[in-house]
Structures are given as C-alpha cells and as structure tokens.
C-alpha cells in the first residue's frame, strides 16, 4: 500500500460490535475512504494482534474489563488522534446502566443465579477481570474527538472521517433528534401518560403530544431520527444534547417534563416522577459519564430504591 | 446587531418559543405551521427560547454571552471536540 495514506487503527472495548458494523454501513462510500486510508488494525477485518503506529485510532466501547483498559492505553500510545466512537466510548453506553448495581450483584445474576443455565460458578482465570465501574474512555486516556451515536449514522462517520483526512473542520450540527423528526408537535388535551405498548400512536403527531415518553428533544441527533419517523419513540441512544451535558440546571427528566407539560394537560410533577421511577431506562445510555453522573440533581440510586420500595 | 434565526426544517411547530419569550419576538405562520422571528429587535438574549426549543432550531448571533461561571468548564471545553 502507498506510504502517503492515512493509517487507521480501530479497536473495540466493551461494546456490542455495532459501531464496527456502522463503518461497513458506509456502503459504496467506503471506497472513497479506502482510497485515502490504510486500515492496519481492525478486529473484524485484520488479524493484527499488536498495535501498529497510526495516524487515526478509532476506539469503540467503554472500559469494563482489565483488557479494555490495556487496549485503550496501547491505542493512545500508538495513535496520533484518538476518536471516541459511539455512545459506549463517549458516555459509557447501555451497559453503563450496570452502575445501578454492584459488580457482585451483576456477577451473581449472570453466573450464579441465571434462570436459564445450570452452572453456578463464577469463571476464574479464563476471562479478563470485570472492573468495578463502567468507565467512558476519556476518563482513562486523553481523547481528541468524540462521535456519539448507537451507532453513529454513516452520514456523520463519513463527514467526520473525510474532514480528518482532508484536514478541515467537520460540519457538525447540535440539533436534537426532534429536528429530523417529521411529526408535528401540537397542543392536546391528553391528561395521562401512556406506556409504549398502550394503543397505537398517531403517525403524524409528536409522541409527547400524545402522552408517550420520547427522548427526542433531549438527544443529540447523530442518527437522522429513524425511530420516531418509523413509529417508535426515541430512547436517547446517541446521548444527551449539549445543553443537558453542560448546564447544571438542565437535565433529561426536567427538560422532557417541561416540554411535555406545556404540550399536554399532564402536570410537570407527574411526568418527572414517572421519569425518575424509570430512571434506569431513561438514563441508560449516559449514566456512566461524569457529565451526567456528577450532576447534583442526578440521584439515580435514590430513585431506584424508591421505585423498588413501591409495589 | 443581534440576529435570531429559526431553522425551518427543524421547527416542529410546538409554539413553545411563543410561550416563553418575554418580549414577544415570535409569530406563528398558520399555513406552514412553523414559528417565525417577527421582531428580532425586541430580543433581550435571555436565550429561554433556545433552551426550551425541542429541536435546538433557534440560533442567536452577535449577542452578549454571559460569563461561563457556574458551568463545568472542563466538560464545556470537550463540547468543541464533538464530531
């Protein structure tokens, strides 16, 4: 391969592997990328076990095991620019919800008391040890760029990678998922919250207007809004908007409650309490990051305890 | 001079900006069912509309930015590194 290509390493830590699939989702555009990029290490493409020197390093997944920590540090040592790629790398991701439980509870549930297996011992030396916490990678190594999304839509991957290769600033939007949703937000007389499986929502009207919880307005658009445009409320997989991350008084539950209570007849307090009771779901993708976890108003353990105390 | 813009494509027509604006800068176009900036001169740059807008569709330029004294500066700086 020619020497003037940009050298790329990718590595996955604790994640589902979907972010690497998203790279392939560039479809024909991947050919444009490959003209300028040489992929040296990529767990789904190459058999490279070491960490060669590279210009760009893409890290997906969060740090959950001893191996993850080692891999993240090796990547930082060998790559000039590190991109935290995907929600797990940036915010800890879905398994960040594991922080609502202790390591012992999780190991016990998965290996000792799993209802679908007969074995009941905790594996010893055959797997990498589980760390106490789920850690977004920027708490372990320095990160140069962040691309959240679960996974990020190829539109944003292509823009980000081409900008890096061409050494220009990427065009980034800070709109929420609502900006890409085709539903209309209208005032309604709806006075009760509805569960996602209750009734069939109208396809032209905003979920919030109809009494369904949707995280579109508090979620950064790195997906082009596929879920709300296809009948499913947003679950917040790309992580919170910039204002939720940076403003101490802004929060996922208060922002949804404020907007929804203005659109419907459901009181603010009712919505906020509902979101607190279902906090493990509402904050699942981002609770591992200190940007959310360190907010003085984020009291997830209290909310879970309250939720479990009530029948 | 302060400029205020609404990204038409992103506006969902919820009228929350009309509700919250203390100086009544916005109007609502019934035909397109979208909000419009009617009197930008009235804007006092409180940014309430920008924070409440579900889409993040409202943008302000040339306004006086209040010093970032109560935010977490470390996190705020990271925001510039988002792709």
User: Among all chains, which residue has been given the structure tokens 């991350």?
Assistant: A245
Contact A179 B9 (CB under 8 A): yes
Whether B64 contacts chain A with CB within 8 A: no
pTM for the full predicted model: 0.90
Per-residue pLDDT of chain B (83 residues), as tens digits, is: 889 999 999 999 999 999 999 999 999 999 999 999 999 999 999 999 999 999 999 999 998 877 766 666 777 777 778 88
End-to-end CA distance of chain B, in Å? 30
Work out the angle at residue B81's Cα, subtended by the Cα atoms of residues B77 and B83, and round it to the nearest 5 degrees.
145
Q: What is the pLDDT of residue B6?
A: 95
pLDDT tens string A124-178 = 777 778 888 889 999 999 999 999 999 999 999 999 888 888 888 888 888 999 9
Contact B54 A185 (CB under 8 A): yes
Helical segments of chain A, H only: 18-24, 29-36, 66-78, 87-91, 103-107, 154-165, 226-229, 242-246, 252-263, 268-277, 279-282, 290-293, 300-309
Averaged pLDDT, A88-98:
88
ipTM: 0.89
Averaged pLDDT, A6-15:
93
As annotated, the residues of chain A forming the CATH 3.40.50.700 domain(s) are: 6-100+124-165
Domain ranges of chain B: 3-81
Fold of B3-81: Alpha-Beta Plaits (3.30.70)
What's the CA gap between A123 and A146, in Å, rounded?
34
Contact A178 B55 (CB under 8 A): yes
Closest-approach residue (CA) in chain B for A295: B72
Q: Which CATH number fits domain A6-100+124-165: 3.30.365.10, 3.40.50.700, 3.30.70.20, 3.30.70.560?
A: 3.40.50.700
Averaged pLDDT, A208-216:
96
A263 interaction partners in chain B (CB closer than 8 Å): 14, 16
């Amino acid at each position: 391969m020619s020497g003037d290509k940009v050298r790329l390493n990718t590595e996955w830590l604790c994640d589902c592997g979907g972010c690497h699939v998203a790279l392939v989702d560039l479809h024909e555009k991947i050919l444009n990328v490959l003209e300028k990029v040489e992929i040296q290490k990529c767990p789904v493409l190459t058999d490279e076990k070491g960490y060669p020197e590279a210009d760009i390093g893409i890290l997906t997944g969060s740090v959950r095991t001893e191996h993850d920590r080692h891999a993240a540090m090796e990547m930082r040592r060998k790559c000039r620019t590190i991109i935290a790629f995907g929600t797990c790398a940036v915010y800890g991701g879905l398994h960040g919800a594991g922080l609502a439980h202790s390591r012992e509870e999780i190991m016990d549930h998965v290996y000792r008391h799993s209802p679908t297996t007969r074995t009941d011992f905790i594996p010893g030396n055959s797997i990498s040890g589980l760390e106490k916490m789920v850690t977004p990678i920027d708490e372990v190594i320095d990160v140069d760029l962040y691309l959240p999304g679960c996974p990020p839509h190829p539109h944003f991957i292509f823009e980000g990678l081409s900008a890096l290769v061409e050494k220009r600033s990427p065009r980034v939007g800070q709109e929420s998922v609502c900006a890409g949703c085709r539903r209309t937000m209208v005032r309604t007389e709806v006075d009760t919250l509805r569960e996602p499986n209750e009734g069939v929502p109208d396809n032209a009207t905003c979920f919030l207007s109809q009494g369904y919880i949707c995280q579109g307005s508090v979620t950064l658009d790195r997906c082009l809004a596929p879920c709300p445009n296809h009948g499913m409320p947003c679950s917040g997989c790309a992580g919170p908007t910039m204002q939720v991350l940076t403003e101490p008084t802004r929060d996922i539950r208060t922002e949804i409650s404020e907007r929804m209570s203005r659109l419907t007849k459901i009181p603010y307090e009712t919505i906020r309490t509902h979101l607190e009771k279902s906090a493990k779901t509402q904050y699942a993708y981002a609770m591992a990051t200190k940007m959310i976890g360190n907010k003085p108003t984020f009291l997830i353990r209290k909310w879970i305890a309250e939720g479990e105390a009530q029948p | 001079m302060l400029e205020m813009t609404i990204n038409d494509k992103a506006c969902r027509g919820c009228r929350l900006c009309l509700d919250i604006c203390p100086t009544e800068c916005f109007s609502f176009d019934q035909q397109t069912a979208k909000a419009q900036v009617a009197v930008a001169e009235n804007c006092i740059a409180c940014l309430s509309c920008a924070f409440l807008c579900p889409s993040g569709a409202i943008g302000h330029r040339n306004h006086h930015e209040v010093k970032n004294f109560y935010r977490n500066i470390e996190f705020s700086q990271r925001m510039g590194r988002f792709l």
